[in-house]
Amino acid sequence: MFFGLFSSVEKKTRATAANWLELADKVYHYRRDVLNDAERTALSQATGVVRRQLQEKSDAGKLKLSIEELERVLRRTGGTHYPKSGWMENVEFFLVAAIVILGVRMYFVQPFKIPTNSMWPSYNGMTPEVFASKADEPGTAGRALRLVAMGARPRTLDAPADGEILIPIAGRQSRGLVKYHEVAGRSWGVFPARDREYTLLVGDRAVSTQVPLDFDFDWVVRDAFFPGEQSLAESLEAKVRNGEYVDKEVSTPAGIERVRFIRTGRTVRKGERALSFDILTGDQLFVDRVSYHFVKPKVGDGFVFRTDHIDSPSMRDAAGRQLEQYYIKRLAGVPGDKLEIREPVLYRNGAPITGSKAYNANATRVDNYPGYRAGGLLAEGKTFTVPEESYIALGDNSANSLDSRYWGTVPAQDVVGRPLFIYYPFTKRWGIAP
């Protein structure tokens, strides 16, 4: 296209003539059974003139007149094939584009969004950025830039009264240390979704916020009220041991409940910021769907798979239906491998596992990697041998990962591919997938 700018008039005219001939042939073959004899004859004659002049390399002026005559004939005989309306051309363009995109997605490269932090810090799910005060929050332009660059969505809670901020802690709850209730929400402001609602107290007044179901609100509480602490669980346990809590009866969606609230020691006045944070979007990456058709997955690979045939209570929803989702973990065991966890090290066939930087980082607990935790199939003192046509997939964030330790092996038929490239958000993480 670029070099076509420098083509001669004759060459451009001949290229235009060839395009018109292609269109004329299409109209003739598609519509000859509905054209009358005069229309077929006129179309054949006009097409023949242009074709003959192309072969004879007639001058551009003469060829241009013949093209214009062919266009007049096509307008009379083209039906819905010519001339096309603008909207029809747009529809065809988007249909073709959609087919190409679906084909690429199905067979070659698939976009994937990291939903949780089970692979953190190798891959980020949704993560928080907590602001210590209102003065630290970005302004309007900063908000807009952060939305575009990092998918940042702000959450703010203002104190409804003077008093100390109190955090409700969960009893027997499956996900998280801070008490919550599941509520109806919206994804992208349009699609129905499930959210988690957290209700804090300021004095005796409640203030609530909703976050996506997979968002780690415990992380927010740790950074906001226990900065510098490595473990929210240990911080809360210490508060309970020291009697720094109050039990209150509060109204919840389930009715009146007696809830334990941890004292944070932070007091605010009515109208002041009680809590402010941004929810940063999870890593979005492209997944290679081709390689594993030709080579077997290897230990250490980032590993994307479907959950369709993983038979475990952990892979069923509240109604007992099988989850049919895409997961990402790290491949830790192939058929015949014998695995064992001696915290914090993962052993494969009797030796510390190799094949990924994340394995070494976990073994030495550096760069925010927490080390491997024994549990489930790999509980302390247990070993597990990977069966045929199966794989073991573990999260890099072992302390916060529901993985093969708890729901078993990944069937070979459900393997999708390996991550290639983090294309969003636009941060220092952008680039080749680790």
Q: DSSP of 244-303, one letter per residue?
A: -EEEEEEEETTEEEEEEEEEEEEEE-TTSEEEEEEEEPPPEEEEE-SGGGTS---TT-EE
pLDDT per residue as tens digits for the range 9-43: 888 888 888 988 988 888 888 888 888 989 889 99
pLDDT score recorded for residue 147:
95
Residue 51 has pLDDT above 60, yes or no: yes
pLDDT at 159 over 70: yes
Helical pair 9-31 and 60-77, crossing angle rounded to 10 deg: 20
- Asked which of 65-79, 276-290, 301-315, 369-383 is least confident by mean pLDDT, the reply is 65-79
Segment 195-238, tens digit of pLDDT: 999 999 999 899 999 999 889 999 999 999 999 887 898 999 99
What's the whole-number mean pLDDT along residues 392-411? 95
Whether the CB-CB separation of 82 and 23 falls below 8 Å is answered with: yes
Closest by CA to 405, choosing from 368, 375, 430, is 375
Separation CA 328–CA 305 (nearest Å): 7
pTM here?
A: 0.72
Q: In b/e form, how buried is each residue of 82-111, taking b as 16+ CB within 10 angstroms?
A: beeeeeeeeeeeeeeeeeeeeeeeeeebbe
Asked if residue 354 has pLDDT above 80, the reply is yes
pLDDT at position 75: 87
For residue 158, pLDDT over 90 is answered with yes
Q: How confident is the model at residue 123 (pLDDT cuts 50, 70, 90)?
A: very high
For residues 333, 403, 224, 160, the Cα torsion angle rounded to the nearest 10 degrees is: 170
Q: Tell whether the model's pLDDT for residue 86 goes beyond 60.
A: no
The number of CA neighbours under 13 Å toward the Cβ of 39 is 15
**Residue 59 or residue 392, greater confidence:** 392
Domains of the chain, earliest start first = 3-77 (1.20.1270), 127-280 (no CATH), 285-432 (2.10.109.10)
Question: How confident is residue 124, by pLDDT bands cut at 50, 70 and 90?
Answer: very high
CA distance 186 to 270: 29
Q: What is the DSSP string of 81-112?
A: TSSPPHHHHHHHHHHHHHHHHHHHHHHTEEEE
User: In which band, very low, low, confident or very high, does the pLDDT at 2 lie, cut at 50, 70 and 90?
Assistant: very low
Look at 99 and 236; give whichever has higher pLDDT.
236
Radius of gyration of the chain (CA): 32
Percent of the chain with pLDDT over 90: 62
DSSP SS3 for 320: coil
What is the rounded distance in angstroms from the CA atom of residue 410 to the CA atom of residue 426? 32
Which pLDDT value is given to residue 231? Answer: 84
Nearest-angstrom CA–CA distance, 384 and 409: 11
For residue 49, the SS3 value is: helix
Mean pLDDT of 363-391: 96
What is d(CA 80, CA 232) in angstroms, rounded to the nearest whole number?
67
Instruction: Tell me the percentage of the chain whose pLDDT exceeds 70.
Output: 90
Please report the DSSP string for 177-235 in residue order. Answer: SB--EEEEEEETTTEEEEEEEEEEEETTEEEEEEEETT--HHHHHHHHHSTT-S-HHHH
